[in-house]
Structure 1
Amino acid sequence: MADLLIGVPRADAGGTDSGAVWLIRGSAELSRLGQIALTALPAGLGQAIIGPADWDLLGLAVSQAGDLNGDGLGDLILAAPGRDVAGRARRARMPGRPG
């Protein structure tokens, strides 16, 4: 099973519509679990990235980005179009991991 990236821009874990992204690591163990809630994902099978403030909308768009930093691993781009720092929109990049 391949890795999976799930964006949930209306998630409220970090505030109203702060958004969240879950990176689910593909594994044989994951396929044996059947249906599970993202918030109850067993340790080691994935991780959550939570938008820190109201209306960030983190996860509205998620994408592969190739190897942006030259470390030989694929990177991801996570959009948070509602995030505003000093009057400018902010983008975050999540470095890849060894496959």
Structure 2
Amino acid sequence: MCQYVLMAQQRHYIREWRKHRGLTQEQLAERIGIARSYLTKIETGKRRYDQPFLEAAAEALRCGPGDLITRDPTDPEGIWSIWERIPPTERKRAVAVLKAMQLTGTDD
């Protein structure tokens, strides 16, 4: 038996993720396997999303389901936006710098 749990009506970043990935509503809806009108209602808050929708949308948008409800990909000051701009070859060093800051208790 498949159980669908409706998610609470809350702020989400589905539209921002779609635009961040350069997709139209039609393209994303097709990738998820839903009607564009259904996606429009979710993006505008007129319809609630559920867990299966979040999982399908996240896969289509190449992010995690949690990212769709907690992370604005267009926020240039967001830690994840900064992380994505760091070249993969430099990320190990970036983590080391952050750990050093944590150990020294730097508040800046």
What TM-score comes out, normalization by structure 1 length?
A: 0.23
Higher relative strand content: 1
- Higher relative CO (Cα under 8 Å, sequence separation at least 6) belongs to 2
Q: TM-score if structure 2 supplies the norm length?
A: 0.22
Higher share of residues assigned helix: 2
Q: Which has the larger radius of gyration?
A: 2
